[in-house]
């Protein structure tokens, strides 16, 4: 099945999601720097933590709202508010006043809250209108689009900050305004008729307690958190290790790198390989049962990060980057497809809101590894990564044993990578 055969909402959400990730990475990547120059590094760090915590609150509110009031109105509210806050940030940044700096901070915090509010509705809507057979394709395309958006946004934000920061905020406001208008004009409501009704018994905190009582789902969330803890190592302990300890060396081709340059090269390698290989490998991966995909993917992913922890040879690190990226491409879309299968139709948005918390948990755990690294040494950290990977496999097995039908059948994906490239064109627009 190609993207043109999918529900129009799916194509629209992939395109809008591309714009949202592009805008978010373009601005968020430099907001910490902006706040540090205005309020100092110590205060800026605390402010960023508070803002991210507010986005979690928004996600939990959004998950409940999407079940009681619908996906479309929740998305429209979140995207409209995000566009307006970018306008306010652009105006405040242009005033160059202390009070205006506080206004930019407040607008940024509100922006993150409403971005979090819209996220569960977006994730639930994709599940609403896709089938078991086409979800792996949808998540593969979406994964590619997200990585491309993050790469472009980070580059634009990094080079545009400073003299052009105001222009970045104006571009963000325009992009989010177009996203909100597209949602208003083209998006159809997809909330199942069996979803919780306003004021019903499944509302509020009681509903979230019911989500947390789902042991299979909670195990899956913990597994996802452990995977992301590994992924975030590159910008945490491994990044510190390379920056402080990697000797100056020449790579094949004569490129001379130190630890900081090697870190940047590894991050760029991962993003570029995801963009280049996602569609090329999709036909091959699509013939593999999800159980095998996920197990093989996590094994390769873990091996790559363990090598990152041990090696100080640039060529070996680059090969490890290729290995872990292939593992990532095997596991990530399949994991998303299995998530869609184990989440009940009657409470999808709330489940997605809770699932989104795995990223915040992973950020905290990965940050803690910076302090843990010197105590365990390189070998100890590599062993820790292997333990984390093994724990993910055990948690996956506990999910597979309860829901084998979701992992034993190969996903229906296109037989030709070139065709998939063409069918993915709407996601690039």
Write the pLDDT tens digit of every residue in 344-363: 888 888 999 999 889 888 98
Percent of the chain surpassing pLDDT 70:
89
212-422 has the same fold as 6-188: yes
Q: Break the chain into its structural domains and give their ranges.
A: 6-188, 212-422
Would you tell me which CATH number, out of the four given (1.20.1600.10, 3.90.700.10, 3.40.50.740, 1.20.1250.20), belongs to the domain 6-188? 1.20.1250.20
What tens digit of pLDDT does each residue of 258-290 get?
A: 888 888 889 889 888 988 888 888 888 878 888
Give the angle 340-190-411 at the CA atoms, nearest 5°.
Answer: 30
Would you tell me which CATH number, out of the four given (1.10.10.10, 1.20.1090.10, 1.10.645.10, 1.20.1250.20), belongs to the domain 212-422? 1.20.1250.20
Reported pTM: 0.77
**Each residue's pLDDT tens digit in the chain (429 positions)?**
566 777 899 999 999 999 998 998 888 767 877 887 888 867 877 888 788 889 889 988 999 999 889 999 999 999 999 999 999 999 988 776 667 888 899 999 999 999 999 999 998 898 888 887 788 788 888 888 888 888 888 778 877 777 788 899 999 999 999 999 999 999 999 888 765 544 444 456 777 888 999 999 999 999 999 999 999 998 789 988 988 889 999 998 888 988 888 888 898 898 889 888 888 888 888 788 889 999 999 999 999 999 999 999 999 999 999 999 999 999 998 898 889 888 888 888 899 999 988 988 898 888 888 888 889 999 999 999 999 999 999 999 999 887 655 555 554 443 333 222 323 333 322
What tens digit of pLDDT does each residue of 361-394 get?
A: 898 888 888 888 889 999 999 999 999 999 999 9
């Amino acid at each position: 099945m190609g993207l043109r055969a999918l529900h129009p909402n799916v194509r629209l959400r992939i395109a809008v999601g591309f714009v949202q990730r592009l805008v978010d990475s373009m601005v968020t990547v430099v907001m910490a720097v902006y706040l540090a120059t205005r309020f100092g590094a110590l205060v800026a760090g605390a402010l960023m933590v508070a803002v991210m915590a507010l986005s979690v609150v928004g996600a939990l509110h959004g998950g409940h709202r999407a079940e009681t009031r619908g996906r479309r109105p929740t998305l429209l509210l979140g995207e409209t508010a995000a566009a307006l806050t970018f306008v306010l940030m652009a105006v405040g940044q242009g005033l160059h006043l202390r009070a205006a700096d506080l206004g930019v901070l407040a607008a940024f915090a509100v922006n993150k809250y409403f971005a979090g509010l819209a996220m569960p509705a977006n994730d639930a809507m994709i599940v609403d209108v896709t089938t078991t057979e086409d979800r792996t394709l949808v998540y593969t395309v979406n994964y590619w689009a997200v990585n491309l958006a993050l790469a472009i946004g980070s580059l634009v934000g990094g080079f545009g900050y400073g003299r052009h920061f105001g222009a970045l905020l104006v571009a963000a406001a325009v992009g989010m305004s177009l996203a909100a208008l597209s949602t208003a004009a083209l998006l159809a409501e997809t909330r199942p008729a069996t979803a919780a009704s306003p004021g019903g018994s499944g509302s509020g905190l009681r509903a979230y307690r019911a989500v947390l009582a789902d042991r299979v789902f909670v195990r899956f969330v913990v597994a996802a958190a452990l995977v992301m803890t590994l992924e975030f190592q590159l910008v945490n302990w491994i990044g510190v290790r390379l920056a402080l300890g990697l000797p100056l060396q020449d790579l094949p081709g004569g490129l001379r790198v130190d630890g900081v340059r090697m870190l940047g090269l590894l991050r760029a390698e991962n993003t570029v390989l995801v963009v280049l290989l996602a569609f090329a490998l999709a036909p091959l991966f699509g013939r593999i049962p999800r159980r095998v995909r996920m197990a093989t993917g996590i094994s390769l992913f873990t091996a790559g990060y363990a090598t990152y922890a041990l090696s100080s040879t640039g060529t070996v690190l680059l090969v490890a980057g290729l290995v872990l990226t292939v593992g990532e491409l095997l596991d990530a879309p399949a994991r998303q497809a299995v998530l869609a299968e184990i989440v009940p139709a009657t409470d999808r948005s709330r489940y997605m809101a809770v699932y989104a918390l795995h990223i915040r948990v992973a950020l905290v755990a990965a940050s803690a590894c910076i302090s843990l690294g010197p105590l365990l040494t390189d070998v100890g950290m590599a062993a820790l990564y292997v333990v984390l990977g093994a724990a993910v496999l055990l948690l996956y097995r506990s999910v597979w044993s309860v829901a084998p039908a979701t992992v034993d059948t190969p996903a229906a994906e296109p037989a030709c990578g070139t065709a998939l490239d063409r069918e993915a064109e709407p996601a690039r627009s």
